[in-house]
Structure 1
Amino acid sequence: MADFDTLYEQNHRIGEMANVLSFLIKDRQMCDADITCKLFFQYVNAVNEHLDLEERTLYKPLLTHSATRKLAENFLGGSAEIKRVFKQYVRHWCKNNELHIKDHQEFLDDTNKMFELIWNRIVDESEKLYPAVKKAEARAA
Structure 2
Amino acid sequence: MISFNELNAQNDKITELSNVLSYLIDDRAVCDTSVTCELFFDYVDRVRMHLDVEERELYQALLSHKDNKVCNTARMFLSGSGEIKRVFSQYLKRWCKNKELRIKDHAQFVKETREMFELVLRRIEDEVERLYPTVRDVNQGWGATA
List runs of 5+ in structure 2 lacking aligned partners. none
1:90-123 CA distances to partner (integer Å, 9 max, x unpaired)?
1110011100000000000000000000000000
SS of 1:66's equivalent in the other structure is coil
Q: Cα offset for 1:65?
A: 1.5
Query: After TM superposition, what 4+ stretches of structure 1 lie above 6 angstroms from structure 2?
Result: none
Query: Structure 1 vs Structure 2: percent identity of aligned residues?
Result: 53
Distance 1:87 1:44 in 2: 10
List runs of 5+ in structure 1 lacking aligned partners. none
SS of 1:26's equivalent in the other structure is coil
Distance 1:105 1:59 in 2: 38
Q: Cα offset for 1:66?
A: 3.2
Q: Cα offset for 1:133?
A: 0.3
Matching residue of 2:123: 121
1:6-47 CA distances to partner (integer Å, 9 max, x unpaired)?
110000000000000000000001111110000000000000
Paired residues in the alignment total: 140
TM-score (norm 1): 0.96
Distance 1:43 1:2 in 2: 20
Matching residue of 1:12: 12
Matching residue of 1:35: 35
RMSD: 1.3
Matching residue of 2:136: 134
Matches within 5 A, 1:14-93: 14-67=14-67, 68-93=70-95
Cα distance change, pair 77–71 in 1 and its aligned pair in 2 (3 A): same
Distance 1:5 1:49 in 2: 16
| AA at the equivalent of 1:12 | D
